Amino acid sequence: MSSADALLSDDDLRYLHASIDVAARARAKGNHPFGALLVTEDGIVLEGENTVVTEKDPTGHAETNLVRIAGRELSEAQLAGSTMYASTEPCAMCAGATYWSGIGRLVFALAGTDLAAIVPVGSADQTIKMPSREVLARGQRQVEVVGPVGLQEARDVHADFWH
């Protein structure tokens, strides 16, 4: 059991699996295979999926889309008490959006370094190689980060996509 796994509840695992299901739906629509959920302390669940291809928006990452939805629907207090579950570690842009939204906790499955190993070198889809923890640690408020959580399906949703 990894240290990340020791910090997870059964609900955390259930929502993390659900974020991977959202990633699979994004992929089925022709988008990049990323998904995210936001769960408030009072049980509100919001979903965000990647829409980079279908919306022709390079910022249409799952987590950023989710932050936009949550910002319209939730109060600052609800955001602060929420957990974002991401199928893959948020990129620098998405980690920044998570910080600015006021979300209090982030849990992710596939590590950014593992994603980088899957995406071919020289691909237009390369990411900024900066861990979400590093982005979030530079802020003035603390965001709890748990991950990566080793779930094979988080890797599987990317199978044969990036070739």
> How far apart, in whole angstroms, are the C-alpha atoms of residue 44 and residue 25?
20
Beta bridge partners of 39: 45, 83
Residues acting as catalytic residues: 63
Cβ atoms 20, 28 nearer than 8 A: no
14 contact partners, CB below 8 Å, separation of at least 6: none
> How far apart, in whole angstroms, are the C-alpha atoms of residue 59 and residue 63?
10
For the stretch 25-32, contacts whose Cβ atoms lie closer than 8 Å and that sit 24 or more positions apart, written own/partner, are 25/49, 26/50, 26/51, 26/62, 27/157, 27/161, 29/54, 30/54, 31/60, 32/125, 32/161
What type of residue sits at position 113? T
